[in-house]
Amino acid sequence: MHIPDGFLTPATYLPAWLASAGFLAGFLKRLAGTLQDRAVPLMAVLAAFIFAAQMLNFPVYAGTSGHLLGGVLAAVLVGPYAGAVIISLVLVVQALVFQDGGLTALGANIFNMALVGSFLGYFIYAGLVRVLGSARRLWAAGAAAWFSVVLAAGLCGLELALSGTAPLELVLPAMLLIHLLIGLGEALITVAILQAVFRVRPELVYLS
C-alpha cells in the first residue's frame, strides 16, 4: 500500500501533503497539552514494534503478501491522536531510510495509513464499542482493524486513478479485493495483541 515516487501527479500528492501536515500539526498541538508521561515510553515501544512488524510480510493469495498496518492497534493503546503520529513517524522512517514509499507520495501514504488507518480507525472502533458494549471490544477492534485496511486501500486506489496511473475500474477493485484478505490478517494480529494487553496490562489501554 506504500505508494512509490512517480505514481502520483502533483495535483494529487500536493493536496495530500497539505492535508496530512495540517492534521498532524493539530494532533501534535493537542498532544502537547494532554499526553501523559506514562504514554511516551509506550508510544516509543509501539513505534518500534509496528516498524519491525511492517517489515514482515505474510502470504495472502497468488503470490501476493501483506503486512501489519497497526493503526487501530496503536490508537486503541495510546489514543487516536498519538496513534496517527506513531504511524506517521513509522512511514517517514521507512521512506527516508528504506525507500519504502516515495517522498512525493509520503503525504498520501500518511493520509491513507495514519489519518484514515489509525485516526479514523479508532473512531470506528469506539463506535462499535458503544453499539456492542465493552465486553465485545476485541470484536470491535478486529472489525475496525479490517475496515481501516480496506478504507486505506480504497483511498490508495482512488489516488492512483486520479493521477492517471491506472483506470479506476481496474485499480479500485484490485486494491479492495486483495486488501479484504490482508485486512483479515490485520484483524487477527490486532485482536491477538490487544487480548494479551487487556489481560495482563489493562491500564495501558487508552481510556481503559
pLDDT tens-place values along the chain, 208 residues long: 788 899 999 999 999 999 999 999 999 998 887 776 667 778 888 899 898 887 776 665 544 456 789 999 999 999 999 999 999 999 999 899 888 888 999 999 999 999 999 999 999 999 999 999 988 999 999 999 999 999 999 999 999 999 999 899 998 998 898 899 889 989 999 999 999 999 988 877 887 5
141 and 76 Cβ atoms separated by less than 8 Å = yes
Residue 2 lies in a domain: no
Residue 48 lies in a domain: yes
Residue 3 lies in a domain: no
Phi, psi of 98 (to 5 degrees): -110, 0
Residue 42 lies in a domain: yes
Domain enclosing residue 122, as ranges: 10-204
User: Any residues with CB less than 8 A from the CB of 119 and at least 6 apart, and which?
Assistant: 23, 27, 71, 75, 80, 81, 83, 84
Residue 96 lies in a domain: yes
Rounded Cα–Cα distance for residues 148 and 179 (Å): 10
pTM: 0.91
pLDDT at 2: 84
pLDDT at 82: 94
- CATH assignment at residue 128: 1.10.1760.20
| Helical H segments across 5-120, by residue range | 10-34, 39-54, 71-78, 80-98, 106-110
Which residue, among 60, 51, 66, 46, has the nearest Cα to 1 in the 3D structure?
66
3-state secondary structure of 58: strand
pLDDT at 206: 83
**Which amino acid would we find at residue 16?**
A
Residue 88, judged by CB atoms within 10 A of its CB (0-12, 13-18, 19+), counts as buried
Number of separate domains in the chain: 1
Residue 5 lies in a domain: no
Rounded Cα–Cα distance for residues 4 and 185 (Å): 23
85 and 28 Cβ atoms separated by less than 8 Å = yes
Instruction: Please give the distance of CA 100 from its chain centroid, rounded to a whole number.
Output: 15
Residue 112 lies in a domain: yes
125 and 75 Cβ atoms separated by less than 8 Å = yes
Q: At what angle are helices 39-54 and 71-78 packed, to 10 degrees? A: 170
Residue 84 lies in a domain: yes
